[in-house]
Structure 1
Amino acid sequence: MKRSRINDIMTAADEMMRSFGFTLPPFAYWNPEEFRARVNDGSARRIADARLGWDITDYGQGEFDKLGLFLFTLRNGILSDLERGRGMVYAEKLLISRQDQVSPMHTHFIKSEDIINRGGAILAVELFGSDANGNFDGEKGVTVLTDGLERRLQPGEVLKLAPGESVTLNPGDWHAFWGENGDVLIGEVSTVNDDVTDNVFREPIG
């Protein structure tokens, strides 16, 4: 993806987040030189180590408008804290899913997450369950909490979340999502996030 395209996506995302009352932290607007300098002098080492900040993915397919996602990681804890059950065991992100822009089917082995429609259109979430080994099971449904209410969904059923609504997803809940009839600002509140090892996709991702 060209740098000019990335810059356009970041600008549009910032405008959308602000339109719903969300202002990013100051480090979001550091230029590359300032970011490197602060990491090198140690003052921003935690930001780099926790992988906070901007993230734009087309999942290696080169078709961002069809298969992609914008993310900004606001805070992220430490896996060692999660393992011992205390400390900074949580993470928070803002995401933008464009109309009909799919985030492909995946699950997590460690992370539990609340996916929240923070504003915009309908957030569509397709859900499947896992087999006994945690693998994708196309014939198994899931039971999830939507704003604290238990819901049983059939395999492949699409849960539709209006602004203000949310769903809690646990390890083994396979899910894909997209914006329906428009773009969606999404909040994610979760346990510690590790995008390097804890995103497990049904299909190979480049």
Structure 2
Amino acid sequence: MRRSDINAHITHAKELFESISFKLPFWGHYSPAQWDENPDLAKWCRTHQMGWDVTDYGEGDFAKRGLILFCLRNGILRQPGEVPYAEKIMIVGENQECPWHYHKVKMEDIIVRGGGNLVIELCNLTDDGKMDMVNDVHVRTDGKLNILPAGGKVVLEAGQSVTLPRTLVHRFYGEEGKGPVIVGEVSQVNDDLADNFFFDCDARFSEIENDVAPIHPLWNELAS
């Protein structure tokens, strides 16, 4: 991805967050120079995978497959004194896919905070690690039990949520014609380096072409 595009996506995300009065922590607006002046905070955020994250899953077509994320809080697995939870805010465009994946450790609630509607498709995981396109899926939306056929979908409007247990395979995208979706995530500790298991995408993190300077570094670019 080009840095100029990443900068534009972050700027757009900040505008959408502001449209629903969602406030980022103060360091969500830090420039690279400000991060350099705060090395302890930079190390903390990088170690905890907190901050900006923009990906096209290594495929070079952000509008088709991509995601903007900001992790506000997070712990570290099996570390004494660490919080056991995480929180993210994300932007999902119309028909912009987060591809099929699951987590072995993390349980999560996906919540639509504003904007358009979020479509989530679901299936179970077989014992040998494949997508189960035979058996029904049991999933709860705001506590209500839904029984869906394999590959079935739920559509979430603003204020609605779905609880995704461990190993439940899922993908999501914004519903066409409804505009970009502002999506929250509340979960157990999040580890994007080790607890994402994809089926058909190249990479969780993108290679970056620095055609311009960053307005805000991504979390994995912070000094450790």
Q: Please report the TM-score for the alignment, with normalisation by the length of structure 1.
A: 0.93
In the alignment, what sits opposite 2:218? none
RMSD, aligned CA: 1.5
SS at 2:158 equivalent = coil
Q: Distance in 2 between matches of 1:37 and 1:151?
A: 50
Q: Distance in 1 between matches of 2:93 and 2:144?
A: 27
SS at 2:38 equivalent = helix
Please state if 1:24 is matched with 2:24: yes
Q: State the 1:133 CA deviation.
A: 4.0
2:112 to 105, 113, 117: 117
Q: State the 1:141 CA deviation.
A: 2.8
Please state if 1:200 is matched with 2:181: no
Q: Which has the higher contact order (CA 8 A, sep 6+)?
A: 2
1:106 to 101, 104, 129: 101
Please state if 1:66 is matched with 2:61: no
Q: Distance in 1 between matches of 2:76 and 2:189?
A: 6
Please state if 1:80 is matched with 2:83: no
Return the structure number with greater strand share.
1
How many percent identity over aligned positions?
43
> Structure 1: which 4+ aligned runs deviate by more than 4 Å?
none
Q: Distance in 2 between matches of 1:45 and 1:56?
A: 19
Q: Distance in 1 between matches of 2:202 and 2:92?
A: 18
Gaps of 5+ in 2: 204-224
SS at 2:83 equivalent = coil
Q: State the 1:151 CA deviation.
A: 1.2
SS at 2:202 equivalent = coil
Query: What is the total number of aligned residue pairs between the two structures?
Result: 201
In the alignment, what sits opposite 1:51? 49
Q: Distance in 1 between matches of 2:41 and 2:55?
A: 27
Please state if 1:96 is matched with 2:91: yes
Gaps of 5+ in 1: none
Letter in 2 for 1:74: L
Letter in 2 for 1:32: P
Is the CA contact (8 Å cut-off) linking 1:130 and 1:140 kept in structure 2?
Answer: no
